[in-house]
Amino acid sequence: MFSFRVCAGLVGCRIGICVRSLRSCPGITIDEEVAKLLELKAQLGGDDGKHQFVLKTAKGTRDYNPKQMAIREKVFNTIISCFKRHGAETIDTPVFELKETLTGKYGEDSKLIYDLKDQGGELLSLRYDLTVPFARYLAMNKITNIKRYHIAKVYRRDNPAMTRGRYREFYQCDFDIAGQYDPMIPDAECLKIVHEILSELDLGEFRIKVNDRRILDGMFAVCGVPADKFRTICSTVDKLDKMSWEDVKNEMVNEKGLSEEAADHIGEYVSLQGGMDLAERLLQDQKLSQSKEACAGLSDMKLLFSYLQIFQVTDKVVFDLSLARGLDYYTGIIYEAVLTQVGVVPAPVSTEAQNGAAEETVSVGSVAGGGRYDGLVGMFDPKSRKVPCVGVSIGIERVFSIMEQKAEASAEKVRTTEVQVMVASAQKNLLEERLKLTTELWNAGIKAEVMYKKNPKLLSQLQHCEDSGIPLVAILGEQELKDGVVKLRTVATREEVWQGCWQLTPVSLCLNSAQVCCSVT
């Protein structure tokens, strides 16, 4: 070991000496010689010969402990319940797609797609969202009508902001309606779903912003934006929720080549917010009324708000001309839900979770978005047959971040298991009896648990119940076995709530305050 360290040290000295001498020698490439010496040092290894390996998750990803997973499961159940309440069925698609399937669908965000190495003649990419794979699925299977939800992971080479719930690997919860229907009815239902989910999750005050791509395109046209710059200017306007108008205008003029006069005209419109009254006013606007496309979008916006009034959600919906959504495939109504106030002070994310990222702790922002994309399916169909679609995606990771913060701030204990009863013993040598009773509980569909020790102390068993949140404990003892009974106690109060026979006779166990009764035979 001593000679190894000396050798490694001599190599380091040799590198320094050789570099100084090579600087004075003409015709010799220093970088090549240094590379050779470094390679030699690498072959010899480090100081102690061990490979230095840092245990951490990849940038933009994280692990989830049982408590966090319990919160996630609760959120998923709320969302899935809402989707099913509205008549949706579910599908699944591969986590990676042909690269050409995803190319050209996301505008400037296409640079965020993860490309995979060629593994056998196919160029593949990890899915960026669930919408494009859904459109491919419809075209490939010749489906023209479906109401579906899809919950799965997607991947983006984005700059992660862990404290804001922005990751490189994350879940999306999508709800989409595909088919030819009368205008704005499916669109209004999507907004109703967003309203229901955010209200049920009780994240805090929220607002749902709506706009229409046709209104945006008409606005760009009357403001003097060249047609070939519509999408790129739209992507810039989409940054208004993150940047000031001055910065957005600067990008449009200096980076995108738009005239300052056109940018100023856009600024006048994107500052407008309202409801049905704003749509009516814009229909009378001298400039905007010249665009047939904008007028069609404004007429549909009025119709949308009439349906939203019936759905009783107009208190949270605002017509906002600054909403753009940068994805290329949107063709009509677009919307985005943002939290305006979160009912909890954000808690900092651990160093391990951040993977070294230095970020301020912020938790407000967009938590859902979507819109109409009538032309996307036709891009995959051999005969370019269009299937009108509208949908919404819940920004589930941001929802998780807020729910986790609320759980941390609350004194309420989060249960990570669903065990209803613990089978315990008060004396030694009762393992077989505990296992028999546990088996009967399992066979009866009751969630039960037993400690994996022959002679556990009663106090240890009760402590496990308290730590795990198990509400009831069934206690066996020598006297109970002689009498052929089992005692059921409430863990929190230690009070005996029931005593009865369990051997060879049907037993009814009252397992919780909700009076859920299960039969054990």
Supply the mean pLDDT for the chain. 83
CB 302, CB 284: distance < 8 Å: no
Q: Is 148 annotated as a binding residue?
A: no
Please state the φ and ψ torsions of residue 86, each to the nearest 5 degrees.
-95, 10
Is 314 marked as a binding-site residue? no
Same domain? 328 vs 432: no
Tell me: is residue 131 an annotated ligand-binding position: yes
From the number of C-beta atoms within 10 Å of its C-beta (0-12, 13-18, 19+), residue 349 rates as buried
pLDDT at residue 28, as a whole number: 55
Q: Which pLDDT tens digit goes with each residue over 288-322?
A: 999 999 999 999 999 999 999 999 999 999 999 99
403 within some domain: yes
- Specify whether the CB–CB gap between 477 and 427 falls below 8 A: yes
**Cβ-proximal residues to 517 (8 Å cutoff; 6+ apart), any chain:** 508, 509, 510, 511
Residues 6+ apart with CB under 8 A from 329: 105, 106, 131, 132, 135, 373, 375, 376
Looking at residue 430, its pLDDT comes to 93
Determine, yes or no, domain membership for 19: no
Residue 343: band (very low, low, confident or very high) from pLDDT cuts 50, 70, 90? low
DSSP string computed for 102-127:
HTTSSGGGGGGPPBPPPSSS--EEE-
Task: Say whether pLDDT at 279 is over 90.
Answer: yes
Residues 296, 158 within the same domain: yes
Q: What is the distance between the alpha carbons of residues 388 and 456, in angstroms, rounded to a whole number?
A: 64
Q: In the prediction, which pLDDT does 128 show?
A: 92
Both tokens assigned to 269: 């419109």
Q: What is the CATH number of the domain that holds 304?
A: 3.30.930.10
Q: Are residues 267 and 329 in the same domain?
A: yes
- Model confidence pLDDT, tens digit, residues 473-488: 999 988 888 888 888 9
The answer to whether residue 137 is domain-embedded is yes
The number of angstroms, rounded, from the C-alpha of 144 to the middle of its chain's C-alpha atoms is 28
Same domain, 384 and 447: no
Q: CB 383: neighbour CB atoms within 10 A?
A: 6
Q: Which pLDDT belongs to residue 512?
A: 38
> Is 438 annotated in some ligand binding site?
no
Report yes or no: 128 and 112 within 8 Å, Cβ to Cβ.
yes
Split into its structural domains, the chain has a count of: 2
In the prediction, which pLDDT does 359 show? Answer: 36
Instruction: Please check whether residues 246 and 136 belong to one and the same domain.
Output: yes
**β-pair type (273-274, 366-372):** unpaired
- pLDDT in the model for residue 52: 74
Whole-number pLDDT of residue 238:
85
pLDDT bin (cut points 50, 70, 90) of residue 432 is very high
Q: Indicate if 378 and 274 belong to the same structural domain.
A: yes
| In a domain? residue 24 | no
Q: Which of 61-65, 80-84, 408-412, 466-470 bottoms out in mean pLDDT, i.e. has the lowest?
A: 408-412
**Domain end point (choices 351, 383, 409):** 409
398 is in an annotated binding site: no
Share in percent of the chain as helix, strand, coil (round to 5): 45, 20, 35
Exposed e or buried b for every residue in 85-122, given b needs 16+ CB within 10 A?
Answer: eeebeebeeeebbeeebbeebbbebeeebbeeeeeeee
pLDDT at 29 over 70: no
Q: Does residue 274 carry a pLDDT above 80? A: yes
* Mean pLDDT confidence for 106-121: 83
pLDDT confidence of residue 33: 76
Are 338 and 316 in the same domain?
A: yes
User: Does 327 score more than 80 pLDDT?
Assistant: no
pLDDT in the model for residue 349: 42
How high is the pLDDT of residue 54?
86
What are the strands, taking DSSP E only, across 406-479?
A: 421-425, 448-450, 472-476
- How open is the CA angle 394-396-397, to the nearest 5 degrees? 145
Summarize pLDDT for 55-79 with one digit per residue, the tens.
999 998 999 999 999 999 999 999 9
**Rounded to two decimals, what is the model's pTM?**
0.78
232 known ligand binder: no
Rounded distance, CA 374 to CA 2, Å?
72
Task: Judge if 141 and 206 occupy the same domain.
Answer: yes
Q: What's the pLDDT score for residue 30?
A: 76
Q: Which of 409, 431, 447 delimits the end of a domain?
A: 409
- Choose between 431 and 26: higher pLDDT: 431
- 19 has a pLDDT exceeding 70: no
Range of the domain at 397: 66-342+363-409
Partners of residue 423 on adjacent β-strands: 450, 474
Mean pLDDT comparison of 96-110, 159-173, 180-194, highest-scoring range? 180-194
CA–CA separation, 34 and 16 (whole Å): 9
Q: Is the predicted pLDDT of residue 21 greater than 90, yes or no?
A: no
345-349, 412-416, 423-427: range with lowest mean pLDDT: 345-349
User: Domain check: are 440 and 304 in the same one?
Assistant: no
Tell whether 21 is covered by a domain: no
Whether 500 has a pLDDT exceeding 60, the answer reads no
pLDDT of residue 342: 59
CATH code assigned at 482: 3.40.50.800
Cα 34 from Cα 14, distance rounded (Å) = 10
- At residue 75, the pLDDT reads 94
pLDDT, residue 518, reads 37
> What is the token pair recorded at 372?
């109409």
Query: What tokens appear for 509 in the block?
Result: 């166990």
Q: Which residue has the tokens 């009967």?
A: 440
| 330 appears as a binding residue in the annotation | yes
Residue entry with tokens 């220093």: 30
